């Protein structure tokens, strides 16, 4: 077993354990941190496959931005895990066997027979100086320009959706607007009513 293979097994083992801990951890903050660990190991696996750009993007985008944000959200929310787990045992009789069945089937299909080195040989090592950042860039801006544009539209939709759902005037809002107060005119506030004089 050469060094790369050993590294692969170490990274994969940590990845699997971390992923399992994400779903089993009692503390949601721990779960998020385990997910970060899983991402780190996955990016290590990508490095082994010579996909250095994807590996670094996974760390920068997911670990650096998304997961940090996620951590804030998890810390801000008051998550009651006990209540989340309430239905767990009740549905286990149905979910458990189905899950076991799925796992057995997946193991049977995703075995070495279909995905082993004979069926899918490892790609040859890339020559020194081949930049996979550049290769990705070229692919995205030429052949994949249509999905690339679509992805940008999806981000725009997400932006609009987030604003629509969160920017709203609350009815119980008593906030004052200084600019409106300064710009007020007499006719907005004072109403002159002409009334016949009343005698006693």
Partner 1 sequence: MINFVMPDLYPASAEIFILVMACVLLLVDLFAGSGRRWLVYLLTQLTLAGCFGITLATLDGQSVTTFSNMFVDDLFADFLKLVLYPTVAVMLVYSRQYLAARNLDKGEFFVLVLFATLGMMVMISASHFLTIYLGLEMLALSLYALVAIDRDSARATEAAMKYFVLGAMASGLLLYGISMVYGAVGSLEIAEVGQRIALGGGNKTVLVFGLVFVVAGLAFKLGVVPFHMWIPDVYHGAPTAVTLFIGSAPKLAAFAIAMRVLVTGLAELAEHWQVMLMILSALSIALGNLAAIAQTNLKRMLAYSAISHMGFMLLGLLAGIVGGDPRFALNAYSSAMFYVIAYVLMSLGSFGMILLLSRAGFEAENIEDFKGLNKRSPWFAAIMMILMFSMAGVPFFVGFFAKFAVLQAVVAAKQIWLAVFAVMFSLVGAFYYLRVVKVMYFDAPTDSASIEAPRDMRLLLSVNGLAVAVLGLLPEGVLEYSIYASYAFLVGQ
Query: Does 146 contact partner 1 by CB under 8 A?
Result: yes
CA gap 32, 71 in Å, rounded: 6
| Binding residue (CB under 8 A) for partner 1 from 5, 24, 114, 133 | 114
CA gap 123, 133 in Å, rounded: 18
| Binding residue (CB under 8 A) for partner 1 from 112, 120, 128, 192 | 120
Q: Which stretch binds partner 1 (CB under 8 A): 9-17, 46-54, 66-74, 143-151?
A: 143-151
Segment 161 to 180, residues that bind partner 1, using CB under 8 A: 161, 163-165, 168
Q: How far is CA 150 from the centre of its chain?
A: 19
142 φ, ψ (degrees, to nearest 5): -115, -80
Segment 48 to 77, residues that bind partner 1, using CB under 8 A: none
Segment 28 to 47, residues that bind partner 1, using CB under 8 A: none
Closest alpha carbon to 63 in 37, 27, 45: 37
CA gap 148, 118 in Å, rounded: 34
State which residue, 68 or 106, has the beta carbon closest to partner 1: 106
Percentage helix, strand, coil for the chain under 3-state DSSP, each rounded to 5: 70, 0, 30
* Footprint of partner 1 (CB under 8 A): 105-106, 109-110, 113-115, 119-120, 138, 141-147, 150-151, 153-154, 156-158, 160-161, 163-165, 168
């Amino acid at each position: 077993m050469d060094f790369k293979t050993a590294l692969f097994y170490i990274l994969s083992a940590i990845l699997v354990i971390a992923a399992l801990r994400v779903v089993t951890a009692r503390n949601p903050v721990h779960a998020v941190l385990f997910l970060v660990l899983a991402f780190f190991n996955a990016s290590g696996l990508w490095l082994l496959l010579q996909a250095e750009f994807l590996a670094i993007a996974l760390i920068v985008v997911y670990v650096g931005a998304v997961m940090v944000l996620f951590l804030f959200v998890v810390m801000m929310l008051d998550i009651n895990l006990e209540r989340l787990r309430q239905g767990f045992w009740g549905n286990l009789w149905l979910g458990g066997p189905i899950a076991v069945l799925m796992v057995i089937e997946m193991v049977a299909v995703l075995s070495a027979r279909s995905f082993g080195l004979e069926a899918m040989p490892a790609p040859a090592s890339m020559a020194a100086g081949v930049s996979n950042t550049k290769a990705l860039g070229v692919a995205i801006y030429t052949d994949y320009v249509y999905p690339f544009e679509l992805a940008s539209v999806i981000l725009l939709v997400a932006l609009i959706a987030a604003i629509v759902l969160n920017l709203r005037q609350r009815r119980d809002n008593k906030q004052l607007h200084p600019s409106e107060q300064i710009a007020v005119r007499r006719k907005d506030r004072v109403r002159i009513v002409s009334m016949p004089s009343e005698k006693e």
